[in-house]
A and B are shown apart, each in its own frame.
Chain A
């Protein structure tokens, strides 16, 4: 009985994963190689051409999504690091208050927050309107329906996922280690690049994983803040499923996206996830 206990403990969670993750995945994998339409039904024909067709048709959106995800992730690192650093080293007794502030947006629905950005950034909205009537901006200046708006929205929505892991890794850095670096003739900048930064790389690493994946597959920001030129692969998948009812193509696109991201993550983990990189960065 005692030896069975660990297995019994993972049973509820394991069942949950099996029913709600593995089963739909297998089902969708099967759908992705079927042919037909909603009216006459779909039949399994092992049509792997669904994949090549989908990729050929939506190559632009694929590349755009990866580009937006990459740009958004880089921007998020640059914005999140100083915030996390400040909370970890200067936050003093109010650290948890600042962390709560970082998380505060999560108390409001993701879509609602993005829609409110649409109001804020509207061509004659509360931000651009006054600037335009004051003559500070050209009348046809706009933010919405641009790449800037979409990437800005992505960064805004996923920033906390970057701040938190970086904060956690910085919080674990013993301040006396930084003093030791200063004592051993490192300048302020040197102590940062050779001690603080390498010790926080695991946090950056985790933050990148936690933001790049959802940013790349996001469709809400492109749908609300972007225009036709900003369509991401998430929007295409949504359209194929819910508008065109072309389930096989939607499924094939989803699996392609998943495969590409998994490959990217593994490559990234292989290159950055080892201690040797930390060591090299610190020398």
Chain B
């Protein structure tokens, strides 16, 4: 995995943004000792986050996202490696001396204080003058749309309102970076989608670097400028949402981001700039040649919405494979098909329901699946 990491140029800032990264992790490792056994929660992460960027750490539960974030905030000290904020090494600096603020997964509002005092907490600790505290807290509550709720206690607020208090309490301090650990995880779907839009708006408005932890790939894809996809304590790919989706660096990334079909084959021949892989009886997968030679093993991924279903063999220079429909699920705007290939692979296909909701195939039908060469992506190329 480490060569993929180096290959994506993880430590470099995104192009077009400030040259000194707001946050840098340099070979960061975190080990815990649990019942006498050493557990590596983070196994060597190197990355740079540019000032003003909306950056996401995406990965399944237990992959080390929270641990990584807590090392940036200063709640955990790395076992090895360094953390730098705007070029300053803060590896040994306690959280109260770091210019970043955190929005906790459980919000962690102070239950004995009202909304105003919750939001004013950081400013009071920094001995900001009372008049300015009033002004800034008022401004912030306006931004998060909580004006008029100053005297409420956290327990008297809805989940969404508590969430916004937590956000205001962190942002009012004008931190260099805001760290958010699955901030929308406790909200229901509707509210979560509304808050995603809201968070993006607030981030544009205040221009603060956001480091956003989530296990929800849709959330990461729609909100982020760049995503670090983590697995088992390592970054598997660091790239823009489009690139992560279209050009997954590893089979893990391909499988984790959206639904993706993995097809494994061996290059049979090179046809100009195209490598041809035979697959099943009469089937073939076309993929850009790159540096491939006949005989190379290749893992190809293709997204379900790029595939067309037809009864007969498709015309033209396409990837085409044969299979039998094993499942048809009507999803409203689209229909999802599961198609079993002769070699045992299962391929998922999404078709738009454009006309009268008529499905193009039934369970048990023998069908051809085809897609253009540009939609075949050889993993790791």
Question: Interface on A for B, CB 8 Å cutoff?
Answer: 174, 176-177, 179-187, 190, 194-195, 198-199, 275, 278-279, 282-283
Contacts and interface: CB of A to CB of B under 8 A. Distances in A.
Interface string B4-15: 000000000000
Nearest to B122: A184
Interface of B: 73, 75, 94-97, 101-102, 104-106, 108-114, 117, 121-122, 124-126, 169-170, 173
B125 A198 contact: no
Contact of A179 (B75, B112, B173): B75
Contacts of A190: 96, 125
B108 A283 contact: no
Given A176-B108, A185-B126, A282 B117 contact: yes
A182 B124 CA distance: 13
Residue of A185, A187, A275, A283 with most partner-chain B CB within 10 A: A185
Residue of B102, B104, B108, B113 with most partner-chain A CB within 10 A: B108
19 contacts: A176-B108, A180-B104, A181-B110, A181-B121, A182-B75, A182-B95, A183-B102, A184-B125, A184-B169, A185-B96, A185-B125, A185-B173, A194-B121, A195-B110, A195-B112, A198-B112, A278-B112, A279-B113, A283-B124
A33 B114 CA distance: 52
Nearest to B102: A183
A195 B117 CA distance: 12
A183 to B, nearest CB: 5
Residue of A177, A184, A278 with most partner-chain B CB within 10 A: A184
B304 to A, nearest CB: 39
B111 A199 contact: yes
Contact of B95 (A176, A179, A194): A179
Given A182-B94, A282-B113, A176 B124 contact: no
B96 A275 contact: no
Contact of A184 (B94, B97, B101, B112): B101
Contact of A177 (B75, B96, B110, B170): B110
B175 to A, nearest CB: 9
Nearest to B169: A184
A180 B124 contact: no
The main secondary structure of chain A at its interface with chain B is helix
B117 A279 contact: yes
B112 A199 contact: yes
A183 B117 contact: no
Contact of B121 (A184, A198, A275, A278): A184
A275 B112 contact: yes
Given A182-B96, A183-B95, A184-B121, A174 B112 contact: no
B120 to A, nearest CB: 9
A73 to B, nearest CB: 23
Contacts of B101: 183-184
Contacts of A278: 112
Contacts of A179: 75, 95, 102, 104, 108
A183 B125 CA distance: 11
A20 to B, nearest CB: 39
A182 B111 CA distance: 16
Contacts of A194: 121
A85 B213 CA distance: 32
Contacts of A180: 102, 104, 108-110, 169
A283 B124 CA distance: 8
Contacts of A283: 117, 124
Contacts of B111: 177, 199
A199 B110 CA distance: 9
Contacts of B112: 195, 198-199, 275, 278-279, 282
Given A177-B110, A184-B170, A282-B112, 19 more contacts: A176-B105, A176-B108, A179-B95, A179-B108, A180-B102, A180-B104, A181-B110, A183-B96, A183-B101, A185-B96, A186-B96, A186-B121, A187-B96, A198-B112, A278-B112, A279-B114, A279-B117, A282-B113, A283-B117
Contacts of A195: 110, 112
B153 to A, nearest CB: 8
A278 B113 CA distance: 8
A48 to B, nearest CB: 46
Contacts of B124: 283
